Amino acid sequence: MSFLQFLHEYDTSLLIALAEHVRMIAIALAIATLAGVPLGVWGARNRRAGGIVLAFANVIQTIPSIALFGLMIPVLALVNRGIGTFPAIIALVLYALLPIIRNTMVSLLAIPHATLDAARGLGMTEGEIFRHVMLPLALPGIVSGIRIAATMSVGVAAVAAFIGAGGMGHFILRGIQTTWPMMTIAGAVGNALLALIVELLLEWVERALTPRGVRIGAERSA
Amino acid sequence: MNTFLAYIADNLGAIGIALAQHIGIVAAALALAVPVGIAAGIALAHARSRAARTAVFYLLGLGQTIPSLALLALAVGLLGVGLLPAIVALLLYAILPIARNACTGVQSVPEATRDAARGLGMTNMQIIRRVELPLARPFIIAGLRTATVVTISSCALASLIGAGGLGDFIFSGISLFKPEAMLAGAIPTAMLALAADWFLGRWAARGHAVR
């Protein structure tokens, strides 16, 4: 069976796996963004709290993905949700938090004091400064954090197949278990392509959201 | 908790062997990735064309987005199962952070310092060895730190392609639904990563000890 024949034979299951994969990371990223951005804003205002949040997120990041998934099983088994998509999404959220929190904090703290002083001098209230000055300036950095989290999540979500969450990792896993390289390669290539697409797409969003004046020398952060 | 402790006590030897395998695979991958990464970083920092440098790092960055599980799986397709594909996949993964940081470190050396070294009559090789590398040291260690933590984590997946290591316990624990086996693999892996991170962080913080 050639690779193309394989793709044709398994097109439906590949598409289902892709949909499962995308759904998993989309939910996880939405939660992580909703939690991470406010945490980052809080961390930028309260440096000590920010340090603690970052250190905690850093420790989670250091735990290998398969170990984190493994740890989810006995913990969530207590509420009967040890395997499947549920623990996978929780683990993905935990992983995605660090880059989002860190980038939000760093981009807010990188805004020059002179800019904030100028806004204050124009008579803006704190709320207006946040909405009209700080947020637009920090937005590309925040999106960059989401991009890093998203690309990472595509890879981590592949590992989630081991705890029964489905996705492209399922093909890799089944291919290895049945020593059928073609199935493994189909999963791996699909997984890698998805990661590349997500990366390029969010890079584009990041560029589009950068205010024109800031675009000069916009280096990729982290 | 008691089953966990009993399991650990019963399998202490096997866990020790898996830990040693794990460290061995990581060390082998890094032993190859560090010289290659540092050399590539230095070469790129000295590259005349800025566009070429940006392009190379962009491509390497895109390569890095390939998930580690996918890379390990692809390595099986090319090299079969066992230690070799695991080490190759992990080493490819570790090169980027090392090269990028080495490049940043060398670029951070002020041109005036390099001129002064040249004025002292140093050759280009001497400038790299005795001026640039010592000054770039904190950056290089930071890159090594990232690479080490990533490699230790990804190495847990290498068990899947028959390379052994602590992942063996995690995977059999998941397959057999035996949390104690899984924890016996997961906890040492996480501790190993945290210990390496802490140790290299301390090392990096120990100032610019320029000899």
pLDDT at B1 over 80: no
Check CB contact of B66 with chain A, cutoff 8 Å: yes
Contact residues on chain B for A74, CB-CB shorter than 8 A:
179, 182-183
Check CB contact of A72 with chain B, cutoff 8 Å: no
Residues 132-171 of B with CB under 8 A from A: 149, 152-157, 160-161, 167, 170-171
Residue A205 C-alpha, separation from nearest chain B C-alpha, in angstroms = 17
In angstroms, the CA A67 to CA B201 distance is: 23
% of chain A exceeding 90 in pLDDT: 42
Residue B170 C-alpha, separation from nearest chain A C-alpha, in angstroms = 7
pLDDT value of position B85: 93
Write down the mean pLDDT value for chain A: 87
pLDDT value of position B155: 94
pLDDT value of position B20: 96
The DSSP annotation for A64-104 comes to -HHHHHHHHHHHHHTTT--SSHHHHHHHHHHHHHHHHHHHH
Q: Is the dihedral of CA B194, B196, B198, B201 positive or negative?
A: negative
pLDDT at A212 over 80: no
Q: Rounded mean pLDDT of B19-40?
A: 96
pLDDT tens, residue by residue, B66-114: 888 888 888 887 888 899 999 999 999 899 999 999 999 999 999 999 9
Could you tell me which of B72, B200, B84, B100 has the C-alpha nearest to residue B148? B200
Is B70's CB within 8 Å of A181's CB?
A: no
pLDDT value of position A216: 55
Is A199's CB within 8 Å of B65's CB?
A: yes
> Are the C-beta atoms of residues A122 and A163 closer than 8 Å to each other?
no
Contact residues on chain A for B156, CB-CB shorter than 8 A:
64-67
In angstroms, the CA A113 to CA B181 distance is: 53
The mean-pLDDT minimum among A147-156, B110-119, B172-181 falls in B172-181
Enumerate residues 6+ apart whose C-beta is below 8 A from A178.
Answer: none
pLDDT at B169 over 90: yes
pLDDT at A82 over 80: no
Model pTM above 0.90: no
B69 vs A220, more confident: B69
Check CB contact of A205 with chain B, cutoff 8 Å: no
Q: Is the dihedral of CA B45, B46, B50, B54 positive or negative?
A: negative
Check CB contact of A6 with chain B, cutoff 8 Å: no
Question: What 3-state class would DSSP assign to A136?
Answer: helix
Is B73's CB within 8 Å of A70's CB?
A: no
pLDDT at B48 over 90: no
Write down the mean pLDDT value for chain B: 89
Q: Rounded mean pLDDT of A130-153?
A: 92
Check CB contact of B172 with chain A, cutoff 8 Å: no
Q: Rounded mean pLDDT of A167-191?
A: 86
pLDDT value of position A222: 37
pLDDT value of position A124: 93
ipTM reported for the complex surpasses 0.85: no
Residue whose structure tokens are 């402790």: B5
In angstroms, the CA B153 to CA B69 distance is: 11
pLDDT-derived band at B47 (thresholds 50, 70, 90) equals confident
Contact residues on chain B for A188, CB-CB shorter than 8 A:
69-71, 73-74, 77
Residue B77 C-alpha, separation from nearest chain A C-alpha, in angstroms = 6
Q: Rounded mean pLDDT of A66-81?
A: 81
Residues 21-50 of B with CB under 8 A from A: none
pLDDT value of position B61: 82
Check CB contact of A199 with chain B, cutoff 8 Å: yes
Is A70's CB within 8 Å of B170's CB?
A: yes
pLDDT tens, residue by residue, B109-163: 999 999 999 999 999 999 999 999 999 998 999 999 989 998 999 999 999 888 9
pLDDT at A152 over 70: yes
Q: Give the count of Cβ contacts less than 8 A between chain A and B.
A: 126
3-class SS letters over B115-180? HHHHHCCCCHHHHHHHHHHHHHHHHHHHHHHHHHHHHHHHHHHHHHHCCCCCHHHHHHHHHCCCHH
